[in-house]
Structure 1
Amino acid sequence: MIAYRDARPDDAAALSAMAQQSFIETFGPLYAPADLDLFLDQAMSPAAYARQLADPAYRVHLATVEGQPIGFAKLGANYFDGFDPAAPCLHQLYVLSAHHGDGVGKRLMAWTLETAQVLGSELYLSVYIDNTRARRFYDRLGFVKVGDYIFRVGNHEDHDIIMRLTL
């Protein structure tokens, strides 16, 4: 049975492990091992998640099975230049591939939209231009492309698109 709850500071290590697994499942083959390792060590380390979970600017909601994360959504400050810095931004929405199709992404996105409505009138996110599964998901929800963004994985630069949803 899948349970949902807000993340706590003591979830940092398990959240890091799940996020790294999901990122590798989805994007791992795209990168040189050194770039992937650098990214995971910097952006998805237990210490990075511990800092975010302790920071009131971030909100993280987990999907768990038997207490272990299988998915999460993370909201935080908008970091895209030229867009409303006060608007919330979906930093990550990850679900382990074994749980694709279980409704986890939809449930986490429902939490995201409900939480974002309290925080502002728009929600931003970026998505890898070739991640067609995620792009279709966001398109169905009414997100529209409003810009381009370079997402760095180690020394590799990916082309992402910035999307916005008016809440």
Structure 2
Amino acid sequence: MGQTIYVGLARPGKAQADPCSGTSETDTPADVHRAQIATIGSWRAKWTASAERRRQRWLERQKQNEIEKRQKMQYVIRRKACLTRLYQARADLGMDNMRETGEPFMRYLARTYMSDLRLLAVRHHLRQQVMTPADYAEMMIWYRRAQKECGKSAAAQVKKQKK
């Protein structure tokens, strides 16, 4: 490591033949070859070190992504378990959300001439499953539609009674 390798410049004390080439008149082909090897070796060492650093950063990112993905999955599992426990506790106390949100939905299904057995099956399914926000939203859309229909029919009956 103590030896200085001059790359791209003529060594001190030698006349320079071509300022662009970095070689001097007295350089032998072996000197030029050694300088080229030193340049290539230096470049290769830097490049491999840089590639290794990039690879390490990539591996760290992959590990971090895996950890984040695992944490998200565990959060979803914990959330579902918590919701299921809460819902089951409410159902055990007879406070399941069939009374709060499900009954209008069941009335809507009943108006579609479903059999009582089928209605019981739907009610059982709703009690067993934790209702997702999408299910709730769909149920409320049906409920509002049913309310509008009921409102129209009630208004029509009032008009008939007045006549």
From the two aligned structures, give the one with the greater strand fraction: 1
From the two aligned structures, give the one with the greater helix fraction: 2
Determine which structure has greater relative contact order: mean sequence separation of CA pairs < 8 Å that are 6+ residues apart, divided by chain length: 1
TM-score exceeds 0.5: no
Shorter chain as normaliser: what TM range? under 0.3
TM-score normalised to the size of structure 1? 0.25
